Structure 1
Amino acid sequence: MAGMNTPGTPGIGVEPLNTPRLQRNPTGYFRVPLATHRLANKIAFITGGGGKIGVETAARLIREGANVTLMDISFEALEQALVSLKDAIYTGEIATSRILTVVGDASKEEDVVAAVERTLKMFKRIDIAFLNAGVSYPATPLLETAEDRYDEVMGINVKSAFLGLKHVGKAMKVLGNGGSIILTSSIAGLRGTPGLSVYSASKFALRGLALTAANELGPDGIRVNTIHPSGVDSPMFREAWSEEKLEELKAGMPLGRFAQTHDVSSVVAFLGHEDSKFITGSFLKIDGGCISF
């Protein structure tokens, strides 16, 4: 078959058959044991860290060995997150040695600067940034959408990502170790979404930010990608739609369900790891197949 190596002939990315640490499985491919702590010694910076997706992602990264900073505007949400994340630390370490919580508004530059500086002071580096702060709203026709709604949604969804890219990107550049920055967009950033015109516009804007940042920061080994979940089963998602609309949306999911937070966190963990080291400027759909193009 074209592109395949004959047995015993090493090729690109293939080790010889006599390599002691590898086993050959019946299909002819090599099976290499994966590290159980593939993100060991990595530091992750998460905005929207007190929300359902932020907490689930923090738990996943911690279980894979990373330390995390959680930034959120709600002190109470961060307190609850810290309590729930203790279960992710099974090594006996004190939670506050692995988790830094920072109360701050991700759409205010001084707060983002302070959060990044506190992360560097405690952990000395940032390897992964998950820029996840965001807001939605109940479905509203375009012609009935208020200017205040536009200012709120663009100010949070787009500005927070811009500020995170700017200041995490600066820190990563100075540190010189490269890094991975992931922006939470949406399938609404890939198609028109009646009733959520401003939300959709904000999520499309994140693609422009990510593509530009990927080009500018690539020479420094910093990767930038967007993820595009469909409706993640969360309070924010359910508040945006009526029960009838929710059932209609679910019926359009080829996999027959809405996304769960762990569906998102696993993709973030992948993008934070070296397994994705040649992926930048990309968009990854986490949509159960509801968008096909």
Structure 2
Amino acid sequence: MNRLDTLNTPGTPGIGVEPLNTPRLARNPTGYFRVPLATHRLANKVAFITGGGGKIGVETAARLIREGANVTLMDISFEALEEALVTLKDAIYTGEISTSRILTVVGDASKEEDMVSALERTVKMFKKLDIALLNAGVSYAAKPLLKTSEEEYDRVMGVNVKSAFLGLKHVGKTMAALGNGGSIILTSSIAGLRGAPGLSVYSASKFALRGLATTAATELGPSGIRVNTIHPSGLGGPSFQQSWTEEQLEEMKKGMPLGRFAETHDVSSVVAFLGHEDSKFITGSFLKIDGGAITF
């Protein structure tokens, strides 16, 4: 008997062989481990991203493209989308023309007609829709609640919450009609998990996304559509650092067990996971991307 025969003989001690009395069905009841792992795990997937011209939108689009997906970027700024296209050309290694993999749509995600049009164009071009990152959002300079204006309230809630509502409504309709299920991810914040002094309305808007997401997860689940929120902490980088003094930054870092601020790639990798079948049994959940800043 050669070594290969020995290894393939049930109950024979050897590398990779368990005793005969080990219940094989208990070890592997589904056989799912036999499914090959794809290098480009999002190949042939189609993703739709609002706020697509921003830091998180562009970084996430790059990650999804590298994983094999085609992407629609929706943003209110034509200039931001132009810059995004230049950046994203580097994410395509196959020599394909970027316009065959990336669709850009100028539109306001908080306006229903723009949302509907962007999704119609996405399906017309790519014939499907598998992933949506509802990422459009605005904030404002920190100030006490008693000094926050009605106009600021209307603007922040009108963008952050309304765009997510419209996205859930029409992405949900589109995915349900296509009949292949899908994954919808809402970009919230750690301000959607705890109070944020100086940012009362922003915090309220990010808390609201949890209510939308958990309800949508329940309603859309029977159609195979998953809905989750992600909660990044403040993103590092020049613009973030310029908003605070060195002393404030150091004090904030003390509350980060991993010792640094979040980066855009920390967020994009979680979105890629939620867009893939590896997360197929996760819905109605919130995922913190905060280096341990919030523990509960």
8 A contact 1:43–1:68 mirrored in 2: yes
- Return the letter of the residue paired with 2:277: E
Look up the SS of the partner of 1:252 in the other structure. Answer: coil
Match of 2:223 in 1: 220
Match of 2:199 in 1: 196
Name which of 247, 262, 272 aligns with 1:259. 262
Look up the SS of the partner of 2:283 in the other structure. Answer: coil
Match of 1:144 in 2: 147
Across the aligned residues of Structure 1 and Structure 2, the Cα RMSD in angstroms comes to 2.1
Residue 34 of structure 1 deviates from its aligned partner by 2.7
- Return the letter of the residue paired with 1:14: N
Summarize deviations over 1:70-102 as a string: whole Å, max 9, x none: 000010110010011011100110000000000
For normalisation by structure 1, the TM-score amounts to 0.89
Residue 233 of structure 1 deviates from its aligned partner by 1.9
Matches within 5 A, 1:104-115: 104-115=107-118
Name which of 2, 10, 28 aligns with 1:14. 28
Summarize deviations over 1:169-207 as a string: whole Å, max 9, x none: 000000000000000000000001101100000000000
Match of 1:174 in 2: 177
Summarize deviations over 1:6-58 as a string: whole Å, max 9, x none: 65642357289xx9xx9xxxxxxx79863111000000000000001100000
> Cα–Cα, structure 1 residues 13 and 274, in superposed 2: closer, same or farther, change >3 Å?
farther
Bigger drift between 236-245 and 113-122 goes to: 236-245
Name which of 195, 210, 213 aligns with 1:210. 213
Match of 2:188 in 1: 185
Match of 2:10 in 1: none
Name which of 101, 109, 120 aligns with 2:104. 101
Q: CA–CA distance in 1 between the matches of 2:82 and 2:97?
A: 15
Match of 2:131 in 1: 128
Matches within 5 A, 1:231-242: 231-234=234-237, 237=240, 241=244
Summarize deviations over 1:246-280 as a string: whole Å, max 9, x none: 33222211111100000000000000000000000
- Return the letter of the residue paired with 1:91: T
Structure 2, unaligned stretches of length 5 or more?
1-17
- Return the letter of the residue paired with 2:192: G
- Return the letter of the residue paired with 1:179: G
Match of 1:3 in 2: none
> Cα–Cα, structure 1 residues 45 and 12, in superposed 2: closer, same or farther, change >3 Å?
farther
- Return the letter of the residue paired with 2:47: A
8 A contact 1:48–1:131 mirrored in 2: yes
> Cα–Cα, structure 1 residues 82 and 44, in superposed 2: closer, same or farther, change >3 Å?
same
Fraction of identical pairs, as percent:
81
- Return the letter of the residue paired with 2:230: I
Bigger drift between 178-187 and 244-253 goes to: 244-253
Q: CA–CA distance in 2 between the matches of 1:58 and 1:107?
A: 21
Q: CA–CA distance in 2 between the matches of 1:163 and 1:179?
A: 17
Q: CA–CA distance in 2 between the matches of 1:163 and 1:148?
A: 21
Look up the SS of the partner of 1:208 in the other structure. Answer: helix
> Cα–Cα, structure 1 residues 216 and 31, in superposed 2: closer, same or farther, change >3 Å?
closer
Residue 139 of structure 1 deviates from its aligned partner by 1.0
Q: CA–CA distance in 1 between the matches of 2:140 and 2:250?
A: 18
> Cα–Cα, structure 1 residues 32 and 42, in superposed 2: closer, same or farther, change >3 Å?
closer
Q: CA–CA distance in 1 between the matches of 2:27 and 2:110?
A: 43
- Return the letter of the residue paired with 2:24: P
Structure 1, unaligned stretches of length 5 or more?
1-5, 23-29
- Return the letter of the residue paired with 1:11: L
**Rg larger in 1 or in 2?**
2
Name which of 79, 82, 95 aligns with 1:79. 82
